[in-house]
Amino acid sequence: MFRRDVKSIRDLILRNLRDQGLETPLLQKRLMESWPVVAGETIASYTLNTYILNQTLYVRLSSPALRADLSLRRTEFVRRLNEHVGNQVIADVRFC
């Protein structure tokens, strides 16, 4: 009798994405799309743009007062965003 090396489709797809160097961009995209969910709809309505550069999420806001308030909660947002994605994608959040 022989043993088969059975793997799930999910594992095969993740390995293929990792081999092609596409896992990190996919996780970054998922993290940016989760910003309205993690931050809440009110904060998301003031958000103009989000992008990731060197493991830092940059969030452009239209309200200077909100920018100052959220800057005090940066570590909380980093933790919640990474938990939402399920991986360590970012190390910092900057509000500009």
Residue 6, pLDDT > 90, answer: no
pLDDT of residue 1: 59
The helix/strand/coil state of 50 is strand
Q: Which residue has the higher pLDDT, 18 or 55?
A: 55
pLDDT digits (tens, 9 = 90+) for 28-63: 999 999 999 999 999 999 999 999 999 999 999 999
Q: What is the pLDDT of residues 64-84, one digit of tens each?
A: 999 999 999 999 999 999 999
Taking CB atoms within 8 Å and a gap of at least 24, the contacts of 71-76 are: 71/95
The residues, any chain, with a CB within 8 Å of residue 49's CB and separated by 6 or more, are 58, 59, 60
| Amino acid symbol at 80 | R
- pLDDT score of 17: 76
Residues forming a β-bridge with 60? 49
